[in-house]
Chains A and B, each alone.
Chain A
Amino acid sequence: MTTENKTITPKTSKQTVLQAHNVRKSFGARGNVQQVLKGIDLRVAEGEFVGIMGASGAGKTTLLNVLATIDRSTEGTILIDGVDISKMKDSELSAFRRNQLGFIFQDYNLLDTLTVKENILLPVSLGKMKKQEAEAQFQSIAKILDIEALADKYPHEISGGQKQRTSAARALINQPSLVFADEPTGALDSKSASSLLRTMAEVNKQQGVTIMMVTHDPLASSYCSRVVFLKDGNVYSELYKGDKTRQAFFQEILNVQAVLGGDSVDAL
């Protein structure tokens, strides 16, 4: 699919990972329908680190859920790696999530009964990946995320930042086409948060992993290569980092947010 008028195109001409066209999502029964997404068009290219920002109720999480195949859109098409996910059956979606996508959640969502290593290796447990291959993959990811020493610890024995790194490692173990992160720094203190974001940016650059992150924190989104702003279920505007410093990008984000109004206060 080539660029259409309304489609937001990144400057690079890399391969498209995600292509959303006219995505709509409504909730509620007849008579009391609330449209949360009102026709979103979005294209994410390989190697991008996209931030989705917007005030509470702007539809950030709904968009993420729809794009991440956890929820179904009411209308529109979503292609991930050229595959139309809106036409897939539930079981196909599950397999697709397992093989193509990675997830990082605000609450980490680690399994309490599993060690760090077991948690990380969980997504490959039903795949065809050989044990040695999985082990090598685990070692390299654990090294990047600096959690090698924690492999045999249980989630209750490690800090929030470490848990989120574990969660990130779990998202990356499958070498997914696209990683979705939902407020990954939401439960972290500022030091752990920036440390995690630095690592994510690094993984994005060095490993070429495509990441889409929902956040309401301008500081977090300043690590992205592009930030898309949502307002009332529509794409309001977008910013590219380009060659700007992170600080300058952060300032730009704040400016857009000021115009947008909303939750700039609770971000700090």
Chain B
Amino acid sequence: MCRLCSGVTALTLFDLVKRSMRKNIKHYYLYFFALILSVVLYFVFATLQHDAAVAAQGTGTMGAAFQVAGILLVFIAGIFIVYANAIFLKRRSREIGLYQLIGLTKRAVARLLIIENMLLGIMALIVGIAAGMLVSRVFLLLLMKLIGYEAFIEVSFSTAAVIQTFFVFLAIFVLTTIQMVFTVYRNSLLSLFNSEKQGQHPRKPKTAASAILALLGIGLIAFGYWLSGRMLNAMIFFNMLAVLATVILGTYLIFRVTISWLLYRIRRSKNGHLGLANSLSLAPLMHRMKSNANSLTIITVLSAMTLTMTAAAYSLYYSTEQETQAIMPFDFMFENEAGLADDISQELDDNGISYQREAVETFVVPAEFEEKPAPFLERATDIALFSSEQLQQAGLDVDVPENGEASFHDVSVATLFNSVTLPFDLTLQDEGATTLSITEIAQQNVLNWSFFTSQIVVNEETYQSLKAQLASETGDAALQQMDGFHIAEEDMAAASAIYQQDKYKVSEPHVDYYSSYDGSIQSNGLLIFIAGFLGLVFLISTGSILYFKQMTEAEQEKQSYATLRQLGFTVKDIMRGIVRKQAFVFGLPLAIGLAHSIFAIQAASFLFRTDILFPASVAMGVYALIYLVFAVLAVGYYKKTVKAAL
């Protein structure tokens, strides 16, 4: 300190900056790290956004998706940096106070901090953009792989990305500068010197009120979960809002009241015999619960959203093939166009493409559903009848219904029937008003969706008798001859190109399995990439924030560790308590976030026909794993601190 006062007259402000930066490198690196990380991630994103290969590959949706994600990214980066800066400033408040104590004006201190911030910002930009160039290729390859683009790609240096990154961080720099100036001008010397010691002391909760609020928190979340499973009715929008509101409020109450209340009760039951592990976990947690409630709530809610987003996106991507197959059991089809089917068979042969051509017969008849879960079923609607034996011959995997029974095949509305009890009646609008009993809602179409939607499968015997009966009533007009093609995997692309020629375009929409799959994999690939990227950025930000907080706490509690070591507790004993605290600090937001997202995914599961348990678990598992890394880092930092304490 004295070296500083004696030298200060001879020092210019800039010298002082250089000196303080050299001496405080430990404090800086945390903030610096946050800055660099944000720059790298943003720059990678901007590079991809401006990349020619991505632009060429993408349609209009690609650009829009990138734009929205880019804005979100700026928000996350901004919040992250401002938060890191706040921690950084708090750690340095004593130093800021000291400068003022030795006679620097507030203005000079502010200027000093701004120069520092500028130097840090410029360095972070340079390092971040350089690092971003190195890793952007990895991300580009990943994106291209996800959207099924296989040609050779090269990342070109993007000046536009550099400029965009520069301006975004210039804006963030302005924000942090304001924050710094605010800290210098708004705080008194005394508060600057004491800010390290701040921390609330737990008060005895008002038992009755706390108990009610604590239970209310749990109750709200339980209600939100309960409602989330029952949202699909006319009030769906209101229900969604209600679920969001109750769960978020409940989460806040959990962190603000419930946990303190529970911890207080546990502590009181110990009657002073707290034990070392609890003294190092439960007690400090109670001390900081009040100030941490807000950030933990935000982290938890955002974790839940990110988890839901990535799990849903990954599930979509993961099930693309199955979903496409469910709506298109044939690669392509013709309806009553045997001539065209012959032509294309010829063309496929000419190109050496092996295929299987299957003939399927169907006839269409209006029918009325007894159960009407969808609006279009309110009135009699056309259904297409099929024979299960014929379909099996055509290579489809369908069960043979009993006589007079039928299975319903229309995956676009299948989930709407989830709440319907089987069997129910289907009454054909023929003269005899024949009734079929629907015994199964299948998760698989028997014909490509573009031809008939409500597909009903009966066994051959029932089919033939119905066909004979209807033919006598209405003639053969309702009878349709379908030609479906199965193409071997390796020839799909070539066959698709042949099918997409104009001469075969006789029905609308003119779609085939391969191009549908390709389109879906592109949009879903983009979705999972953006969701994953944002999720990663968010995860790293929240993980870092929790880690920074723990670093600060470790430093604040250094004296306690010294005392404990002196009293004869080993590093191992102390670490046991600290690990327990870390499990709580990292585990709780993760656990609650996971629970929220599980219910959210479940509520949204009607969007998926396929089983998403696996992809959703993978996404959540990866998320938890990355969180674990931060927890391990925090424990490592504590261990270093405890070891050095004595």
Residues of A within 8 A of B (CB): 70, 90-91, 93-99, 101, 103, 105, 109-115, 117-118, 120-123, 125-126, 131, 134-135, 138, 151, 154, 156-157, 170
Give the residues in chain B near A170, CB-CB below 8 Å.
567
Residues of B within 8 A of A (CB): 199, 201, 271-276, 279, 283-284, 286-287, 559-560, 562-570, 572-573, 646
Are the CB atoms of A122 and B566 closer together than 8 Å?
A: no
Are the CB atoms of A94 and B276 closer together than 8 Å?
A: no
Q: A112–B276 Cα gap in the complex (Å)? A: 14
The residue of chain B having its C-beta at the shortest distance from the C-beta of A151 within the complex is B272
Q: Chain B's nearest CB lies how many Å from the CB of A191?
A: 26
Q: A118–B560 Cα gap in the complex (Å)? A: 14
Q: Which of B279, B283, B569 contacts A98 (CB 8 A)?
A: B569
Interface residues of chain A: helix, strand, loop or mixed (majority): helix
Are the CB atoms of A122 and B567 closer together than 8 Å?
A: yes
Q: A215–B61 Cα gap in the complex (Å)? A: 78
* Interface-central residue, B286, B570, B573, by most chain A CB under 10 Å: B570
Q: A98–B567 Cα gap in the complex (Å)? A: 6
6 pairs, A vs B, C-beta closer than 8 Å = A90-B570, A97-B567, A110-B563, A114-B279, A118-B272, A120-B272
Q: A118–B646 Cα gap in the complex (Å)? A: 22
Q: A110–B572 Cα gap in the complex (Å)? A: 21
Give the residues in chain A near B569, CB-CB below 8 Å.
94, 98, 126
Are the CB atoms of A94 and B570 closer together than 8 Å?
A: yes
Are the CB atoms of A103 and B567 closer together than 8 Å?
A: yes
Given contacts A154-B201, A156-B201, contact A115 B566 (CB under 8 A): no
Given contacts A70-B646, A135-B273, contact A97 B279 (CB under 8 A): no
Given contacts A113-B283, A121-B274, A125-B276, contact A98 B568 (CB under 8 A): yes
Q: 5 closest Cβ contacts across the A-B interface?
A: A98-B568, A97-B568, A117-B272, A113-B283, A109-B563
The residue of chain B having its C-beta at the shortest distance from the C-beta of A154 within the complex is B201
Q: Which of A70, A103, A138, A156 contacts B272 (CB 8 A)?
A: A138
Q: A121–B573 Cα gap in the complex (Å)? A: 16
Q: A98–B570 Cα gap in the complex (Å)? A: 10
Q: A243–B556 Cα gap in the complex (Å)? A: 48
Give the residues in chain B near A94, CB-CB below 8 Å.
565, 568-570, 573
The residue of chain B having its C-beta at the shortest distance from the C-beta of A124 within the complex is B273
Q: Chain B's nearest CB lies how many Å from the CB of A95?
A: 7
Given contacts A113-B283, A115-B272, contact A101 B568 (CB under 8 A): yes
Q: Chain B's nearest CB lies how many Å from the CB of A174?
A: 9
Q: A255–B570 Cα gap in the complex (Å)? A: 44
The residue of chain B having its C-beta at the shortest distance from the C-beta of A123 within the complex is B567
Given contacts A113-B286, A125-B274, A134-B273, contact A118 B279 (CB under 8 A): yes
Are the CB atoms of B279 and A125 closer together than 8 Å?
A: yes
Give the residues in chain B near A125, CB-CB below 8 Å.
273-276, 279
Q: A119–B497 Cα gap in the complex (Å)? A: 79
Q: Which of A90, A109, A118, A157 contacts B283 (CB 8 A)?
A: A118
Q: A99–B286 Cα gap in the complex (Å)? A: 29
Give the residues in chain B near A101, CB-CB below 8 Å.
568
